[in-house]
Amino acid sequence: MVTGPFPESSMTELCDLCRRDQLEAIYEPERSTRGLKVYLCRHCGLLQSLPRIDRAQRAPAAVSGGADWGNVRYGKGFRTAAALSLLRKHTDLSSDLALLDVGSNRGSFVRAFLEAAPTASIVAVEPDERVAESCGKLDRCELVQTRIEDAALETGRFDIVHSCHTIEHLAEPARVLADHWRVLKPGGLLVLDAPNSAILDADDIIEEWFIDKHLYHFSARTLMRTVVAAGFEIIAAPDIEDHANLLIVARKAYTAYRAKDMDHREVAEASRLVAHYGSTRARNLAALTFVSIEIAGMAPKRVAMWGAGRLFDTLVVHGSFTPTNLSLLIDTHLKAHVADRYGCKLAGPEALAEADPDVIVIMSRGFVDEIATEARRLAPRAEIVLYADLLARAHVRKAA
């Protein structure tokens, strides 16, 4: 993990937003299998990873806390409710709507939208054959199994384009947004969701956020500028309280234009965020050994851990944690993709009742409340220990 600027760090590649050649490398992600570095456009402030490798050969699933994390399809269901809530405010779901769903994944949004809009139809675009058929046999749904860049769709066909956590994967987001504009009817809606770079300000982050699969790292400002430059009018801006996601609703409005204006403030903020992230993550990684020591010290109590993903991997790699000492390792989603993690067999939450642990360590940040509630239901006598509390105590011990 290295922060820049780097020697000879200027690039001849152009920024996808402002089309300037002012990209400067400012960060090198940990364990990037593609050799990516993060570049900041010194003109508009858009963060982007180069080289723009978006069609690499599919690699085995990597459940990693580094940049090589990927090919584990979690699905996008966690954003469906938010998208539908906004759509209800801005369109009549009882009308005969035609919707394009970009990157349909396992079809959670498709199914929810078809239920909420009983006369609507959907074209679902999903290139991954492992999950595409989730939409293939649904009524009122046409599956197009290809990448959105390669989909030949009719001009002016759709009332709505919905794109959830896809734009950050594209080599040319501006070009794809321009095509979304083309396939929309006059006044049609774009519902766009993406990761939010504001999460780089978090104090408890330990995993590598700049993963190889994400080529663009948007802030609210740079994503809205990219959307407006494609010919859209923003009618619902991202929620400023949501530091993890950027959900936008925009209306097809006018001819696209090139975003030329310099944005000193955005450049400074992006630079500050990356520097803060690099130093905070390094500090947290250095404290993980103390987290491992505290968990090991819980013996001879039976300790279960809920969460075997990115936080868990980082604890093993950087904190020298020994997972085989656990009585149980739980992960609801990963269990379907991998059998074990570092020699410890994965189990589902239902295994808690039989294991009857004394302690349940929850290695999660975004879903901690839901997991804690379910853990208390399944193992009511177990003590619940949260990752955030472990990390906070580790910093105290490290400073002593």
pLDDT digits 0-9 by tens, 25-44:
999 999 999 999 999 999 99
- Evaluate whether residue 282 is within a structural domain: no
Q: Do 188 and 312 lie in a common domain?
A: no
- pLDDT tens-digit map of 187-212: 999 999 999 999 999 999 999 999 99
Residue 141 lies in a domain: yes
| 51 cis-preceded (ω within 30 degrees of 0) | yes
- Residue of 143, 140, 226, 144 whose CA lies nearest to 190: 226
Closest CA to 61 of 309, 346, 305: 309
Residue 2 has pLDDT above 70, yes or no: no
CB count in 10 Å sphere of residue 368: 17
- Residue 343, classified by CB atoms within 10 Å of its CB into exposed (0-12), middle (13-18) or buried (19+), is exposed
When pLDDT is cut at 50, 70 and 90, the band that residue 366 belongs to is confident
Per the CB < 8 A criterion, the answer to whether 229 and 254 are in contact is no
Residue pointed to by tokens 């992006």:
270
The Cα–Cα gap between 99 and 83 comes to 13
The model's pLDDT over 124-172, given as tens digits with 9 standing for 90+, comes to 999 988 888 889 889 999 999 999 999 999 999 999 999 999 999 999 9
Q: Which of 64, 145, 140, 72 is nearest to 104 (CA)?
A: 145
Per-residue model confidence (pLDDT) at position 216: 98
| pLDDT of amino acid 9 | 42
Say if 258 falls within a structural domain: no
Task: Give tens-digit pLDDT for 219-256.
Answer: 999 999 999 999 999 999 999 999 999 999 999 998 87
* Residue whose entry in the numeric block shows the structure tokens 């046409």: 142
Q: Choose the final residue of a domain: 207, 241, 276.
A: 276
Same domain, 61 and 34: yes
Q: Is 156 left (phi over 0), alpha (psi -120 to 50) or beta?
A: left
Beta strand pairing call for 158-164 and 340-341: unpaired
**Above 70 in pLDDT, residue 4?**
no
* One domain for residues 44 and 81: no
* 320 in a structural domain: yes
- State residue 74's pLDDT score: 64
Alpha carbon of 155 to those of 98, 127, 152, 186: distances in Å?
13, 21, 9, 11
Which residues are CB-contacts of 393 (< 8 A; sequence separation ≥ 6)?
290, 294
Task: Looking at the structure, tell me whether residues 23 and 166 fall in a common domain.
Answer: no
Q: Tell me what pLDDT residue 12 has.
A: 67
> Would 283 be classed as within a structural domain?
no
The pLDDT of residue 43: 97
- The reported pLDDT for the residue numbered 129 is 87
Q: Which domain holds residue 8?
A: 2-67+264-276
Domain count, the chain: 3
Asked whether residue 118 falls in the same domain as residue 186, the answer is yes
* Residues 309 and 174 placed together within one structural domain of the fold: no
Q: In this structure, are 165 and 30 located in the same domain?
A: no
Task: Note whether 347 and 373 are same-domain residues.
Answer: yes
Question: Is 357 part of a structural domain of the chain?
Answer: yes
Find, among 217, 203, 211, 219, the residue nearest to 279 by Cα: 203
- Please check whether residue 217 lies inside any domain of the structure: yes
Q: What pLDDT score does 73 carry?
A: 59
Do 220 and 85 fall within a single domain?
yes
Closest listed residue to residue 65, CA positions, set 89, 93, 31: 31
pLDDT at residue 17 tops 60: yes
Query: Within a 10 A sphere around the Cβ of 397, how many other Cβ atoms?
Result: 13
CATH code assigned at 32: 2.20.25
The residue ranking higher by pLDDT, 78 or 27, is 27
Q: How far is residue 14's CA from residue 23's CA, in Å, rounded to a whole number?
A: 7
Residues 63 and 170 in one domain: no
Token look-up 């956020």 returns 209
pTM of the model: 0.93
β-bridge partners, 236: 249
Supply the CATH number for residue 103's domain: 3.40.50.150
Instruction: Please check whether residues 243 and 155 belong to one and the same domain.
Output: yes
Number of residues that make up the chain? 400
What CATH number has the domain bearing residue 293? 3.40.50.720
- Does residue 47 sit within a domain? yes
Q: Are 231 and 99 in a shared domain?
A: yes
